[in-house]
Structures are given as structure tokens and as C-alpha cells.
Amino acid sequence: MDFSFSDEQLMLQDVARRIAKEKIATSAEHFDATGEYPLENIQLLGENGLMAIEVPEQYGGSGMDPISSVLAIIEVSAADAAHATIMSVNNSLFCNAVLAYGSEAQKQTYVRAIAEGSEIGAFALTESQSGSDATAMRCRAVKQDDGSYVINGQKSWITSGPVARYVVLFAMTDPTKGSRGITAFMIDANRPGYGRGKTEPKLGVRASATCEIEFQDYVARAEDVIGKEGEGFKIAMSLLDSGRIGIASQAVGIARAAYEASVAYVKERKSFGAPIGTFQMIQAKVADMKCKLDAAMLLTLRAAWLKSQGRRFSTEAAVAKLTASEAAMWIAHQAVQIHGGMGYSKEMPLERYFRDAKITEIYEGTSEIQRMVIARNETGLR
């Protein structure tokens, strides 16, 4: 078993680390406080191939593998998880959707625009009344005689919704068929019938700009269908497997940042005449943080490796996402505790790590959903 990375993977990691340290970390506090979308930073990531890591070079991407995506997302997330959220959606959900199921024309038009950093993509599955139960969606796409579809409805919690030009949308085309009545569409936000609703005032990852989007008689052309009519649910579920690797990577980045800050702090902070890192209670925390961090990292890389080999990775992606997200939340919690009052203060990034970590247990499938996926895959019972 070889745990080493290739020169190409390490080169991409170095690019991500440099941008993360020089541009993202230095502005993270500002974007968290204001909730502004970090457009210039995102464009910089795009210009350096980090918004389309697994996209082949023929479509303007970096032509790298899933392990490269993991390494890059971890570096960006360690600087600011909100930037990594935007990055993960573009890499794991938007680009993968079009690459795996889109037509050649869709790949050339939409993937290239995202890969080159000129546009932002989004992924629209969730609705206010249908989160974990995607089959309960109410957004409707009614087929017309000319093959087009008229779309009406609303989607919620859309990452990059306020700024995205292109959106992968899932809408019900035949309610009588349940999950087999859902179809995927490519949406252009500049066309009539598309609207943006309120921006969500979030606890964490505040700079990732999340909002509702609305459709009022939006006309999707026949060539805007991604895959085939009725394949939307299958497409969405397959994409969420990849998305879970992205969120696991984000969680590892948050956990690493909180852990490294804690290790540095316990060496410097003194109490009762000695560094607090000499106290057994603190040592126990550091040891447990390290174990959880390494486990999350290795499980995430395992899922990415299986994907890169073209093998099934649904269970492994769920295991990685569940383990990494809960590790991030636990490690961030311990980091705040270790730092005491300073951990609770906005003068240090610990409280931001704590707030940002929570969402990793929720989106791309809650921890409860991950446990259900894992158990069903293991037992074969539904």
C-alpha cells in the first residue's frame, strides 16, 4: 500500500496552499463578518485550475484526479471553509454532473465556462419542504409539444445562488412516477423566468452566499436536459457520493486548522508555571484530536482513491463524510475549550472553525442520512 502522492498532486496542493495562505486566510475574517461573496478570490482559484480539478484539459480543466481534489480542498478549507464550499460545489457537483451525464455541447459550453473561472456554477436539489427526502420536491417541469419544458417552483439553500450563472436543477417531470419522475436540467440564470430570493443569514460558511432561487414559467429547451428525462434522481444520488468526498475534505481542512492552532497554543500558553501542554488533561485532548484527524484524512483519501479507480465508492464516501464531519465538530469544540476565553473571542479564528464545522454534519446528507446509507449498503435491507 503506497501512501505517497505524485509530483503532480503535490504541485497542485502547493498552488492551493499558496493561494490559501496569501489571499484567503488574510481575508477570511472580513468575509465571515460581512457575508460578502469573495469573487476575486474565487476567480483566482479558477484561474489556477482549482475550480475544475477533475475536468479534462480539453474542457479547460486541470485534468487531475479525485485525490488531487481532496488535497486542494483541504488546503483552502484550512484557510476558510466558505471558500472551500464554493470550490467543492463547482468541482464535486456542477462539473461532475455535466461531465458524467451531459452532452458534448453542454460540456463545451458550461464546463469550460466554470473551468476557466469566467462563471460560477450551482446545484439545485433541496427545497424548503424536501431536504433529505428529495422525492418530495414540488418544483415542476411540464413538457411542451415542441420538446421544451416550462419550469415553476422554488429551490432552497443554493450555494453560490446569488452569483451563479449556470445551475444544475432537478425538477419533477412526472409526479406519478416518484423518484423516476425527476429530471435534471441546465439552467441559465440570465434567461427570463429565473429569480433569486433572500440570502440566508447563516451561522457559518457565511461568505459562500446561499439563497433561494425561483422559477416562474422558465422555459428550458430540449437540449437543456442533462442525461435523459426521468434520470434526475439517479443522477443526483450519484453526484452526492462525489459531493460527500468534497465535504469530507472540507471537514478535514477545518479540523486540521483547529488542531494545528491548538498544538501551537498549548506550547506557548502557561499556567501554574508550566506550558499547559504538559498537563495530562490537555495531552489527552491533543492525542484524541490527532487520532480523529488522521482517521478522517485516511478515510477521505480511501474514498477518493476508489473513485479514481472507477470502482464503487458510495459506502466509503458516506463513511468518510460522517467520520470527517463529526471529527471536525469535535476537534473544533476541543480547540475552543483548550483556548478558553480566547477561543470564544472573535479575535481568534477558533470560534469560526467551530461555526463552520457544524454545516459539514448537515449538507450533502446529514449524519443521520450517512448512517442510513452505510447501514443499508452493508445489510442490503431497505
300 and 363 part of one domain: yes
The reply to whether 1 falls in a domain is no
The reply to whether 316 falls in a domain is yes
197 and 304 part of one domain: no
275 and 138 part of one domain: no
Residues contacting 47, CB < 8 A, separation 6+: 117
CATH number of the domain at 325, please: 1.20.140.10
Residue where a domain stops, chosen among 104, 120, 136: 120
Number of domains forming the structure of the chain: 3
Residue where a domain stops, chosen among 120, 148, 176: 120
Q: What is the pTM of this model?
A: 0.95
Which secondary-structure segment (H or E) carries 167?
A: strand 166-172
Residue where a domain stops, chosen among 93, 120, 147: 120
60 and 85 part of one domain: yes
Residues contacting 14, CB < 8 A, separation 6+: none
17 and 34 part of one domain: yes
What's the domain range around 76? 7-120
* Residue 232, SS3 per DSSP: helix
The reply to whether 2 falls in a domain is no
Q: Is the dihedral of CA 194, 152, 214, 228 positive or negative?
A: negative
Q: What is the pLDDT of residue 130?
A: 79
- Read off the pLDDT of residues 207-218 as tens digits, 9 standing for 90 and up: 999 999 999 999
The reply to whether 243 falls in a domain is yes
The reply to whether 308 falls in a domain is yes
364 noted as active-site residue: yes
Strands 121-124 and 166-172: parallel
* Residue 213, SS3 per DSSP: strand
- Read off the pLDDT of residues 341-368 as tens digits, 9 standing for 90 and up: 999 999 999 999 999 999 999 999 999 9
The pLDDT of 12-35, averaged and rounded, is 97
Spatial distance between the Cα atoms of 56 and 297, rounded to a whole number of angstroms = 26
375 and 247 part of one domain: yes
Angle between helix axes 232-268 and 280-308 (nearest 10 degrees) is: 150
237 and 201 part of one domain: no
131 and 237 part of one domain: no
Q: How confident is the model at residue 382 (pLDDT cuts 50, 70, 90)?
A: confident
165 and 213 part of one domain: yes
The pLDDT of 311-320, averaged and rounded, is 97
248 and 330 part of one domain: yes
Candidate list 22, 364, 368, 378, residue with the active-site label: 364
